[in-house]
């Protein structure tokens, strides 16, 4: 065990200003918080749109908002939640904040490109939302399938395309930065297989972004030409092929699921060892399973298209590939359970949200394997079964992890602890509301209720009302979270530099950190999950203030 101490005064801090968060800052920590706050604001907008959908579906008739308005709200909800909330926060916010700490760097590899990537986000989001008031938003759903996207009002659809192109460009800029930072900015002596697992998750995610996002951009550019210039790339009436668009769209959009969940896997892998006081089980198997998901995630896209005239050989290939991808995902869950097994569990808000994630994502994974089977998929295609499955993955999975990560790293960002009573209430309400909202939708789909429609058969009314009650509970769950954040920022309990007694590098500096991350040389942490080792425990208890230490074999 090697321990390196830093001699800077324990109370010295680099001053910052709230104005930094409204400026073109080059500090990766400021940019990470900018992503987090902006993304949460869009989450509130997307949640309000979801509330409008659930109110409309309380009755079988379209009696709250008109059919066209419903289609616009549905399109905006999906686009906002994916491209303006989950992807920017789980990648941009936590990726920016943590990766430089984990590799021992002062900042990202390209700080200006990092700032540009963030400042593409707010105008793209505001442009997307303003389309509702300017000309009517796009009505073709977040998939924008032609010929529907070609025949609906053109202005709203073009604004949607431009907004998504800007958001895709932002993702690519961020991905290039993460790849360069992880591979080229590591401090001397820090090997790849000594990095915290979140670095591997961000590296894998960034590779997916760079390889797949340009394909979506190309498809959307061709689609815009069909709308504006009257070309026939995807327009069947002009000899185009709408199924080609589906291939291009899903070549990006299925890997996009892993772009949303792989960073969440990394965050969970950082949180669980700390709050169970055990090493992360099977570190190398976790790394290899991430790499396997990247490869397999790029060859399973057509399982979304089993009803699109795909030939039998293609159905067989994508069924097998989709079933295989459950293996590396399953490895992760067994490793997380092994990490928790016989640990000294601290059932705080961060841990509870991560446990909720494990439960929800397993359920979503089971229904995903079911959807990979052609006969079953044909039966429930475009029904509420698919809606339930998707939300168990992206909300029950990724969003639960986002909230858990906020409770875990809020003390690092602000220097204050969040209230645990409000945090547990937030977790309880979110878990109950989420499952009450989306679990009954499996039954709706199995019995034939189509998705993306404002009117439905009256036999489904009671279950839709139950689902809407769950959505209301989810909305209410946001209140204790907001109260918690604002009250803690004003008068929360001081966290100290390392309230969780963690071993990863971001906790080995002050809370909040100085501009340069550390006073002096960055620590070399070669065993970030060394919990339960007698030497590590003794050394950690002996340190105080801003003393930095590094652990090696």
Place of tokens 């686009």: 79
* pLDDT higher than threshold 90 for residue 519: no
Q: What average pLDDT score do residues 514-533 get?
A: 88
* pLDDT higher than threshold 70 for residue 542: no
* pLDDT higher than threshold 50 for residue 540: no
Please indicate, yes or no, if residue 465 is contained in any of the structural domains.
Answer: yes
Please indicate, yes or no, if residue 1 is contained in any of the structural domains.
Answer: no
Residue spans of alpha helices (H) in 418-544 = 420-446, 461-491, 534-542
* pLDDT higher than threshold 70 for residue 226: yes
Helix (H) or strand (E) segment spanning residue 436: helix 420-446
Percent of the chain whose predicted confidence (pLDDT) is above 90: 88
538 vs 420, residue with greater confidence? 420
Distance (Å, rounded) from C-alpha 286 to C-alpha 51?
37
Can you name the residues that pair with 416 across neighbouring β-strands? 494
pLDDT value of residue 3: 33
Percent of the chain whose predicted confidence (pLDDT) is above 70: 93
Residue 387 token pair: 């809606």
pLDDT value of residue 526: 86
DSSP symbols for 156-174: HHHHHHHHHHHHHHHHHHH
Distance (Å, rounded) from C-alpha 201 to C-alpha 146?
34
pLDDT value of residue 541: 41
- What is the Cα 209 distance to its own chain's centre? 13
Phi, psi values for residue 532, rounded to 5°: 90, -10
Contact at 8 Å (CB) between 505 and 528?
A: yes
Instruction: Kindly tell me the sign of the dihedral angle through the C-alpha atoms of 173, 174, 178, 181.
Output: positive
- When the pLDDT of each residue in the chain is averaged and rounded to a whole number, the result is 91
pTM for this entry: 0.93
* pLDDT higher than threshold 70 for residue 5: no
Please indicate, yes or no, if residue 107 is contained in any of the structural domains.
Answer: yes
pLDDT value of residue 135: 83
Please indicate, yes or no, if residue 521 is contained in any of the structural domains.
Answer: no
pLDDT value of residue 162: 97
Distance (Å, rounded) from C-alpha 54 to C-alpha 74?
11
Number of domains in the chain: 1
Please indicate, yes or no, if residue 544 is contained in any of the structural domains.
Answer: no
Q: If 0-12 CB within 10 Å is exposed, 13-18 middle and 19+ buried, where does residue 213 land?
A: buried
* pLDDT higher than threshold 50 for residue 6: no
pLDDT value of residue 532: 77
pLDDT band at 15 (very low <50, low <70, confident <90, very high): very low
Please indicate, yes or no, if residue 446 is contained in any of the structural domains.
Answer: yes
Buried b (16+ CB within 10 A) or exposed e, 409-432: bbbbbbbbbbbeebbbbbbebbbe
Range of the domain at 226: 23-507
Q: What average pLDDT score do residues 1-16 get?
A: 39
Contact at 8 Å (CB) between 333 and 364?
A: no
Distance (Å, rounded) from C-alpha 94 to C-alpha 215?
26
Place of tokens 């080229």: 184
Please indicate, yes or no, if residue 553 is contained in any of the structural domains.
Answer: no
For 255-271, what is each residue's pLDDT tens digit?
A: 999 999 999 999 999 99
The angle that helices 242-276 and 94-103 make with each other, rounded to 10 degrees, is 60
Of 168, 175, 181, 162, which is closest to residue 204 (Cα–Cα)? 175
Residue 85 token pair: 């909330």
Distance (Å, rounded) from C-alpha 178 to C-alpha 100?
9
Please indicate, yes or no, if residue 38 is contained in any of the structural domains.
Answer: yes
From residue 248, alpha-carbon distances to 170, 214, 325, 387 in Å are 20, 10, 21, 21
pLDDT value of residue 2: 35
Distance (Å, rounded) from C-alpha 508 to C-alpha 551?
11
Q: What average pLDDT score do residues 375-380 get?
A: 96
pLDDT value of residue 16: 59
* pLDDT higher than threshold 70 for residue 553: no
From residue 416, alpha-carbon distances to 272, 388, 508 in Å are 21, 36, 16
With a CB cutoff of 8 Å and minimum separation 6, the contacts of 309 are 243
pLDDT value of residue 152: 85
Distance (Å, rounded) from C-alpha 492 to C-alpha 393?
33
Residue 362 token pair: 């397993």
Place of tokens 């066209």: 68
Q: How many CB atoms lie within 10 A of CB 180?
A: 15
Q: If 0-12 CB within 10 Å is exposed, 13-18 middle and 19+ buried, where does residue 163 land?
A: buried
Indicate which CATH number applies to the domain containing 182. 1.20.210.10
Residue 504 token pair: 């990863």
Q: Tell me if residue 281 falls in helix, strand or coil.
A: coil
Distance (Å, rounded) from C-alpha 230 to C-alpha 293?
39
pLDDT value of residue 18: 75
pLDDT band at 533 (very low <50, low <70, confident <90, very high): low
Q: Tell me if residue 450 falls in helix, strand or coil.
A: strand
Distance (Å, rounded) from C-alpha 108 to C-alpha 99?
8
């Amino acid at each position: 065990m090697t321990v390196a101490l830093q001699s800077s005064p324990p109370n010295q801090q680099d001053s910052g200003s709230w104005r930094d968060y409204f400026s073109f800052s080059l500090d990766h920590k400021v940019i990470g918080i900018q992503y987090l706050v902006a993304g949460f604001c869009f989450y509130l907008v997307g949640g309000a749109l979801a509330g409008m959908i659930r109110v409309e579906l309380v009755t079988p008739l379209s009696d709250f908002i008109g059919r066209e308005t419903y289609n616009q709200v549905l399109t905006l909800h999906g686009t906002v939640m994916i491209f303006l909330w989950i992807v920017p926060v789980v990648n941009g916010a936590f990726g920016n904040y943590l990766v430089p700490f984990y590799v021992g760097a002062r900042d990202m590899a390209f700080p200006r490109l990092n700032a540009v990537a963030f400042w593409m986000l707010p105008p793209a989001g505001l442009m997307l939302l303003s389309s509702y008031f300017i000309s009517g938003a796009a009505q073709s759903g977040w998939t924008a399938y032609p010929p529907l996207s070609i025949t609906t009002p053109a202005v709203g659809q073009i604004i949607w395309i431009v907004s998504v192109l800007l958001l895709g460009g932002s993702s690519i800029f961020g991905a290039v930065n993460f790849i360069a930072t992880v591979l080229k900015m590591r401090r001397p002596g820090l090997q790849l297989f000594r990095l915290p697992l979140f670095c591997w998750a961000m590296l894998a995610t960034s590779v997916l972004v760079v390889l797949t996002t340009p394909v979506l951009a190309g498809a959307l550019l061709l689609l815009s030409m069909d709308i504006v210039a009257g070309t026939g790339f995807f327009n069947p009436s002009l000899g185009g092929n709408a199924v080609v668009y589906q291939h291009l769209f899903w070549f990006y959009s299925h890997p996009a699921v892993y772009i949303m969940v792989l960073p969440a896997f990394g965050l969970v892998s950082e949180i669980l060892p700390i709050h169970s006081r055990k090493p992360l089980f099977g570190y190398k198997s976790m790394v290899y399973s991430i790499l396997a998901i990247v490869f397999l995630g790029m060859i399973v896209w057509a399982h979304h298209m089993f009803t699109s005239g795909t030939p039998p050989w293609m159905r067989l290939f994508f069924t097998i590939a989709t079933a295989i991808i459950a293996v590396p995902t399953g490895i992760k869950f067994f490793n997380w359970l092994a990490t928790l097994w016989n640990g000294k569990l601290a059932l705080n808000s961060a841990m509870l949200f991560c446990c909720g994630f494990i439960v929800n994502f397993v359920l979503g994974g089971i229904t995903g394997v079911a959807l990979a089977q052609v006969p079953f998929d044909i039966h429930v295609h475009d029904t509420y079964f698919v809606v339930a499955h998707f939300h168990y993955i992206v909300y029950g999975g990724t969003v639960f992890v986002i909230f858990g990560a906020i409770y875990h790293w809020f003390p690092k960002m602000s220097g204050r602890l969040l209230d645990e009573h409000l945090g547990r209430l937030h977790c309880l309400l979110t878990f109950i509301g989420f499952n009450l909202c989306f679990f009954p939708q499996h039954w709706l789909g199995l019995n034939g209720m189509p998705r993306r429609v404002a009117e439905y058969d009256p036999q489904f009314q009671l279950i839709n009302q139950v689902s809407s009650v769950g959505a209301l509970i989810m909305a209410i769950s946001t209140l204790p979270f907001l109260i918690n954040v604002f009250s803690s920022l004003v008068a929360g309990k001081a966290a100290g530099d390392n309230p969780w007694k963690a071993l990863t590098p971001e906790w080995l500096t002050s809370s909040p950190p100085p501009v340069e991350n550390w006073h002096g040389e960055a620590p070399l942490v070669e065993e970030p999950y060394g919990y339960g080792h007698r030497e590590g425990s003794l050394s950690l208890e002996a340190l105080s203030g801003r003393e930095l230490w590094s652990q090696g074999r």
